[in-house]
Structure 1
Amino acid sequence: MSDEPKIKPYPGPAGGWGSVRSVESILAKEGRLVSGNAILLKQNKPDGYACVSCAWAKPADPHPFEYCENGAKATAWELTTKRVTPEFFGRHTLPELRTWSDHDLEEAGRLTHPMRYDSASDTYVPVSWDKAFQEIGQELKGFDPRQVVLYASGRASLETSYMWALFARLYGTNNLPDSSNMCHETTSVALPESIGVPVGTVILDDFELTDCILFFGQNVGTNSPRMLHPLQEASKRGVPIITFNPLKERGLERFTNPQAPTEMLTGSETRISSQYHQVKIGGDVAALMGLAKILIESDDKARATGGRPVLDHAFIAEHTHGFEEFAQAARQAQWPELERRSGLSRSTLEAAATAYSRANAVIGIYGMGLTQHKAGVENVQMVVNLLLLRGNIGKPGAGICPVRGHSNVQGQRTVGIAEKPELVPLDKLNEQYGFEPPRWRGMTTVEACEGIIKNEVKAFVALGGNFVRAAPETAALEEAWTRLRLSVQISTKLNRNHLIPGEVTYILPCLGRIEIDEQATGPQAVAVEDSTACIHGSKGIAKPASPDLLSEPRIVAELAKATLPSNPKVPWDEWVADYARVRDAIEKTYPEDFRAFNGRMWKPGGFHRPIAARERRWKTKTGKANFVVPQSLEADLGIAENDRDIFKLMTVRSNDQFNTTVYGYYDRFRGVRGTRMVLFMSRNDIARLSLQEGDMVTLTTAVDDGIVRQVNGLRVTPYDIPEGCCAAYYPECNPLIPVWHHADKSKVPAAKSIPIRITLQQKQLPEAAE
């Protein structure tokens, strides 16, 4: 990180030469400039490996370079030539490492040996795999399973995830929170109520057939750049792309395709959004209700005058429930309130509604900008309501499209990592493995945080991730973590979680997905599920970072064998020897989703799980798709509206980041170099608070619960964002999120709507000359 941060607007598009230079820079930094480029040619290919970054769909006919800038960074990050060996820990104690930045911790390199925390020296010391498994198993045997959390990050394969979930239930716990609880659990709650499935209905082919795209709360240029290719193709066909997002994001404005030589040589750009509406943070329900109101009232007028209907009445009559109640709520909504809450004018919403009404097949895309609000479930259901009005679910070129984060986070839920027992075929597991699974509801991420803070959780075993950094209520969580009896982290790289030990703490280093996984029957392959419920095979091609690493399935199996009584129906060793045997077991547990699993996993483009709503089969209580009336027009219930000193803060990711992993200090699209401690504000708000660009400020959570939550040292930075709203980086601002500030029903932390106050830090005066 440079000593002097530099903030200067970036004039270029998403993609382009900036993307190429960024990829080559990180490959060189990680010592993979030549070999890394060769390995990237296999990324997201039918005979290669699935990207370890985002979960966007992988085409059957891939580009020659089927990876994006951030996907290349994730590959370089995993395949770095740098190593964190036992000697590294001999040189660095935990107190010292806690002074390092998140970037520098991971930049140190790949973990190479199992390590155990030694309190006497306050560092990690090497330990044998056998001893580690033996002691962890012995510890787990001594707990009430209800006091144990088995967390899963989103990168573990379907095979590992199935084994992890089975291990947890054989152990006797449903405490299986995962990274979905941090982001898209809102989707998994909202969509079943509305359309009877927990995932989206859109597949990649629909982008070729759509004639309108609605885009809500998702930064495609940073979080899923490969989606820019179908968006660019749609734009070139003249498809309206109507975006609702508080910030202007470059990937939603314009794009130069790095894989198109003509575009690169000429510098030509493609306009992505045909309309870009900067909705207020928390204003999405009001904006969507405004759109619905325009459509319904236009249809009322057309029907009264004999004009052409605006709504799809045949679809509504045959396939939906609750339309009249929703339509009445839309008619009764008042424009002054809709405009005030959304931050958008009636004429703006009329322009968007007109484009939508002229289209025959519409895709609704959204990300965490909708899910991470107190009323996040209603945000998502309002998008569904809008699509249902014109029959835009269950036909080619149309549907709902939640954009997931980690590359297999959706798949983990599919194969049993869920704290909700009703989502798992427990009777089938009983029959298959001869045990009685626990049927009580387990802990979500938020509930796990609460349990740790209250000292009710005694052990936390993590399959990947950087939990203390990703979770809310950071200060209290870190302080409470030291009271855990057992903390186990299965990891590839060093992160903040490793530096906060419990009484007994282990780091278990594992192979990465891109590395060759050699087992008794030869090199193994795994499978993952993307955002469109499509299953893909993935096989590693790189030499492992260390001969002492074990695969994730092997680690899970050894933990299970060390903890559980022997069960002849659970062949852990046979599964590790041949992952195809795990896939056979998955197919037996989930026959509808994984029919002929081993035979289909290498199909170009993958194979799709059956999604009932895509076929207009509605597995809801009413047997139809449901219109849901929101309780309020405000997605941030409980935040004071009339106090102009309270701002709504949304956390964002930089162009040099994926989740908690920070690849560098250059957020190219926002023009921020050398720092992450910035606060993006509108110029009018800066002037109103008598601040100046470059001032250092403190953010304090504006709630009165007896706890002071603050983040210091953020640089005031003017940005194009609605007044009363501001943005800063995740996870640096996670300490501001109260653990109880989460989405109703789904308990996803409300990181996109944190009420804060902004105060100027005292400026240091120069010392007077003597």
Structure 2
Amino acid sequence: MDKSVFRPYRLPSGGWGSARSVGNILRQEGVLASGPIALTRHNKVDGYQCNSCAWVKPANPLPFEFCENGVKAMAWELTAHRCTPDFFAKHTVTELLDWDEYELEQTGRLTHPLRYDAATDRYVPVSWGHAIEEIARELLAVEDRKTGTVFYSSGRLSNEGSYLYQLFARLYGNNNLPDSSNMCHETTSVALPVSIGQGIGTVSLDDFAKSDCILFFGQNPGSNSPRMLHPLQEASQRGVPIITYNPLRERGLERFLNPQSPAEMLSRTETRISSQYHQVKAGGDLAALAGICKSVLDAHDASLAAGGPAILDEAFIREHTHGFETFADWLRGQDWDALERRSGLHRADMEATAKVYGAAKATVAVYGMGLTQHQAGVETVQMLVNLLLMRGNIGRSGSGICPVRGHSNVQGQRTVGITEKPELFPLDRLGAQFGFEPPREAGYNTVEACEAILRGEVRAFVMLGGNFVRAIPDHGQMEPAWRRLRLTVNVITKLNRSALLPGAVSYILPVIGRLEIDETTKGQQVLSMEDTSACVHGNRGLRRPASPHLISEIRLICELAQRVLEPNPRVRWEDYRTDYAEIRKEIGETLPESFWDYERRMWEPGGFQRDLPAKRRDWHTETGRANFVTPTGLDEDADMPEVGHDSLRLMTLRSNDQFNTTVYGYDDRFRGIKNTRKVVLMNRSDIDRLGLKVGQAVTLRTVADDGVDRALSGLLVVAYDIPIGCIGGYYPECNVLMPIWHYAIGSKTPAAKGIPVTIRSDGDRVIAPLLEYAEG
């Protein structure tokens, strides 16, 4: 690898840096000529939905309705590189375990179904028939189906595939349906139903155009959802204040140069995004939100006392909410010294936000995993909703709560039944529709599945997409336990680390990608997905599959179900396998409130939006109203030791060159890091205080009293603009430091944004040959 470099990035997000990155990825994946043709169909009405993030697919798309990350995801799937059986004949699994994630995925698209051969420590090709038959035998041999088998899925799975997968699992006999949302926005799914009666946001793209104030908490659009920068740029240009609370100064929330505007590109005219930027410390958002709410309430009380107008929306609070007086009393009892200490901000910061918010008529509040991935994540999300409820900003045009989902269909698969919680899906209706009694016991979520694997209770694990073992916490505990499973099934398109930790019986089953043509005896089939605004869109593939030996996920589910389950005339697996419209008919029957006339509406420009009761102020809560939820305290990670002189609070981050566990390269352009992911971002004061040097190799070790030594060595110290006492490191590498038991109360989302660690030098040496540091 070339010499690692850190040099502060001075340019805006987007711009020529984005354009160069697009060219590089097309060249790297061998699609420099064909990739641009595919991009003409990217996020278009009759094209395919981006297979990266879940940002909104607009009704009136731009000529180039894609971003840098979308191009990377497209090129990653349509790559010219192939990983054939010849590759596995040359490399043992033990050898491949030394490769990193980028090297594994750069081998290209998998072309054949493969079975692990323990005698040679290699994957060898098998027929699809052999694979499905053996997997079926193993699933049938599981003695306790309720605890012994797990059906995991990633957010890449379509609505149609997700619906069949959950049906298969429930007919098999359990609700063990963990998915990638358990690791990011499960907190949202727990917090919002209590507050507003629905588990998803209330904001559509039109609301951004009508809002006169936008609040950002713990979300980085520049790297995670770059197309979101277009409505933010438009809002900024019309004078809308955009107020950001985030520990790191992320370039996408500072400045943007639209790469789709020739005038801006030629003139290098950039747009300021955030009008206020507050670097709250990791784990300080709950206190910061409490301070903003307290400031709004104090301003309201003072205005009324002076004979002025109300700041709170008193009519809305009276007619539509419950619990306000209890919440207001709690706010009045909060001490400003404690709020400042917990948030890492000054009182003036929170009051400045409250003043702007109090004058706005319609506010959108945006948040991401910076709020959800803490022990008190549920209460923190509910506190943000409290702030909106104070001024009636739910169910008003131009306002609302906007959790930004990551994976492209992670929200849609939950809608159509991928959930371990039986109360979240209409099982009575599903049972009547298909003539069976669905299991009613709660299944495993991601953390619970990991706990059951560690206890040795799980026998079989089917992974439909994703890189589960790499994405979860506590790698040092989980990887050895994973190898003790009887059956592991990896339904993937590219090689990853999870596939290199085989159980006694292990398969790699490569499938057709979303951008590829899925053809059956009934002709070309189409799929559908749901974006972060709850709009459902059609998806039509445009390229021939990477290999003639690939089959679709839907065909795999259907053929496996036919071999595992008892015949049921109401469950028409053969029809579903050849005609995906038949699956959509079943979805419409199970969920008629949202999926009526499904076949037509999914091709409408902008898709169709699911029913969102809170958007029309119809509150499906126990009280029949929107609820102010009073928090139990201000500490977001109370189960871990306080950060002190000798310890720091680690938050895991994604780079500009990755999407979840998929790593596209070793650069993080916006943070100025090149050719390495082995870094720890630190405040200069912490570096000096702890006697470290920039470029020094260090070891992080988790501070936890559970007898387990969790450490990560060989990280290079980088001086960065980050709050004192906080450090940053890349996900998933740093997941080895996160205990499986450190998660959000109520949702069990891993608390990846608040891990107490100590930091020690790996020796006196500074890695000067590896790190060129330029301060200016």
TM bin, normalised by shorter chain, reads over 0.9
Mind listing any 5+ residue stretches in structure 1 that lack a counterpart? none
Separation in 2, partners of 1:446, 1:716? 31
Match of 2:666 in 1: 665
Amino acid at match of 1:708: D
Residues 516 and 544 of structure 1 are in contact (CA less than 8 Å); yes or no, is this contact kept in structure 2?
yes
- How big is each residue's C-alpha offset from its partner over 1:684-721, in whole Å with a ceiling of 9 and x where there is no partner? 01110011101111000001100000010111101101
Match of 1:549 in 2: 550
Match of 1:485 in 2: 486
> 1:679 offset after TM fit, Å?
0.4
Residues 640 and 646 of structure 1 are in contact (CA less than 8 Å); yes or no, is this contact kept in structure 2?
no
> Mapping of 1:576-595 within 5 angstroms?
576-595=577-596
> Partner of 1:205: helix, strand, or coil?
helix
Amino acid at match of 2:663: V
Residues 473 and 735 of structure 1 are in contact (CA less than 8 Å); yes or no, is this contact kept in structure 2?
yes
Separation in 1, partners of 2:260, 2:78? 23
Residues 696 and 765 of structure 2 are in contact (CA less than 8 Å); yes or no, is this contact kept in structure 1?
no
Residue 7 (structure 2) pairs with residue 8 (structure 1) = yes
Separation in 1, partners of 2:102, 2:641? 36
> Partner of 2:214: helix, strand, or coil?
strand
Percent identical residues: 61
> Partner of 1:592: helix, strand, or coil?
helix
Residues 151 and 460 of structure 1 are in contact (CA less than 8 Å); yes or no, is this contact kept in structure 2?
yes
Separation in 1, partners of 2:116, 2:336? 60
Amino acid at match of 2:101: D
> Mapping of 1:255-654 within 5 angstroms?
255-641=256-642, 643-654=644-655
Residues 697 and 765 of structure 2 are in contact (CA less than 8 Å); yes or no, is this contact kept in structure 1?
no
Separation in 1, partners of 2:16, 2:520? 41
> 1:303 offset after TM fit, Å?
1.5
Match of 2:252 in 1: 251
Residues 681 and 720 of structure 1 are in contact (CA less than 8 Å); yes or no, is this contact kept in structure 2?
yes
Match of 2:124 in 1: 125
Amino acid at match of 1:237: R
Separation in 2, partners of 1:764, 1:747? 40
> 1:308 offset after TM fit, Å?
1.0
> Partner of 1:645: helix, strand, or coil?
coil
> 1:642 offset after TM fit, Å?
6.0
> Partner of 2:595: helix, strand, or coil?
coil
- How big is each residue's C-alpha offset from its partner over 1:276-330, in whole Å with a ceiling of 9 and x where there is no partner? 0000100011100000111111111112221111100000000000000001111
Q: TM-score, normalised by structure 2?
A: 0.98
> 1:639 offset after TM fit, Å?
3.1
> 1:112 offset after TM fit, Å?
0.6
> 1:765 offset after TM fit, Å?
11
Distance of aligned partners of 1:642 and 1:697 in 2 relative to their CA distance in 1, 3 Å threshold: closer
> 1:482 offset after TM fit, Å?
0.9
> Partner of 1:150: helix, strand, or coil?
strand
Amino acid at match of 2:584: R
Match of 2:36 in 1: 37
Residues 649 and 755 of structure 1 are in contact (CA less than 8 Å); yes or no, is this contact kept in structure 2?
yes
> Partner of 2:366: helix, strand, or coil?
strand
Match of 1:75 in 2: 74
> 1:763 offset after TM fit, Å?
3.6
- How big is each residue's C-alpha offset from its partner over 1:41-67, in whole Å with a ceiling of 9 and x where there is no partner? 100000100010000001100001000
Mind listing any 5+ residue stretches in structure 2 that lack a counterpart? 768-776
> Mapping of 1:16-165 within 5 angstroms?
16-143=15-142, 144-146=144-146, 147-165=148-166
Separation in 2, partners of 1:693, 1:414? 47
Separation in 2, partners of 1:545, 1:764? 47
> Mapping of 1:673-688 within 5 angstroms?
673-688=674-689
> 1:453 offset after TM fit, Å?
1.2
Amino acid at match of 2:68: E
Match of 1:734 in 2: 735
Separation in 2, partners of 1:640, 1:488? 38
> Partner of 1:168: helix, strand, or coil?
helix
> Partner of 1:666: helix, strand, or coil?
coil
Match of 2:772 in 1: none
> Mapping of 1:178-197 within 5 angstroms?
178-197=179-198
> 1:96 offset after TM fit, Å?
1.1
> 1:408 offset after TM fit, Å?
0.3
Amino acid at match of 1:414: T
> 1:558 offset after TM fit, Å?
1.1
Separation in 1, partners of 2:183, 2:384? 21
Amino acid at match of 1:646: S
Residues 248 and 278 of structure 1 are in contact (CA less than 8 Å); yes or no, is this contact kept in structure 2?
yes
How many residues are treated as equivalent by the alignment? 765
> 1:640 offset after TM fit, Å?
3.0
Separation in 2, partners of 1:617, 1:244? 30
Amino acid at match of 1:495: N
Amino acid at match of 1:391: G
Match of 2:763 in 1: 762
Separation in 2, partners of 1:659, 1:351? 34
Residues 417 and 425 of structure 2 are in contact (CA less than 8 Å); yes or no, is this contact kept in structure 1?
yes
> 1:424 offset after TM fit, Å?
1.2
Separation in 2, partners of 1:234, 1:643? 41
Separation in 2, partners of 1:303, 1:217? 33
Distance of aligned partners of 1:765 and 1:521 in 2 relative to their CA distance in 1, 3 Å threshold: closer
Separation in 1, partners of 2:663, 2:673? 14
Separation in 2, partners of 1:241, 1:268? 19
> Partner of 2:152: helix, strand, or coil?
strand
Q: TM-score, normalised by structure 1?
A: 0.99
Separation in 2, partners of 1:322, 1:727? 37
Amino acid at match of 1:746: S
> 1:229 offset after TM fit, Å?
0.3
Residues 641 and 704 of structure 2 are in contact (CA less than 8 Å); yes or no, is this contact kept in structure 1?
no
> 1:641 offset after TM fit, Å?
3.0
> 1:726 offset after TM fit, Å?
0.5
> 1:145 offset after TM fit, Å?
1.2
Separation in 1, partners of 2:182, 2:521? 35
> 1:565 offset after TM fit, Å?
1.1
Separation in 2, partners of 1:677, 1:503? 33
Bigger shift: residues 241-250 or 345-354: 345-354
> Partner of 1:762: helix, strand, or coil?
strand
Which runs of at least 4 in structure 1 moved beyond 4 Å after TM superposition? Answer: none
> 1:206 offset after TM fit, Å?
0.4
> 1:576 offset after TM fit, Å?
1.4
Match of 2:770 in 1: none
Match of 1:745 in 2: 746
- How big is each residue's C-alpha offset from its partner over 1:334-385, in whole Å with a ceiling of 9 and x where there is no partner? 1100001101101111111111111000000000000000000011001000
Separation in 2, partners of 1:239, 1:763? 50
Amino acid at match of 1:432: Q
> 1:113 offset after TM fit, Å?
0.6
- How big is each residue's C-alpha offset from its partner over 1:227-283, in whole Å with a ceiling of 9 and x where there is no partner? 000000000010000000000000000000000010000001000000000001000
Separation in 1, partners of 2:134, 2:566? 15
Separation in 2, partners of 1:128, 1:293? 64
> Partner of 1:546: helix, strand, or coil?
coil
Amino acid at match of 1:80: T
Separation in 2, partners of 1:765, 1:310? 56
Residues 695 and 766 of structure 2 are in contact (CA less than 8 Å); yes or no, is this contact kept in structure 1?
no
Distance of aligned partners of 1:716 and 1:221 in 2 relative to their CA distance in 1, 3 Å threshold: same
Separation in 2, partners of 1:610, 1:520? 34
> 1:91 offset after TM fit, Å?
0.8
Separation in 1, partners of 2:635, 2:361? 30
- How big is each residue's C-alpha offset from its partner over 1:500-545, in whole Å with a ceiling of 9 and x where there is no partner? 0000000111000000011111111100000000000000001110
Separation in 2, partners of 1:427, 1:543? 40
Match of 2:228 in 1: 227
> 1:764 offset after TM fit, Å?
5.8
Amino acid at match of 1:120: A
Separation in 1, partners of 2:256, 2:205? 19
Distance of aligned partners of 1:523 and 1:763 in 2 relative to their CA distance in 1, 3 Å threshold: same
Separation in 1, partners of 2:734, 2:287? 27
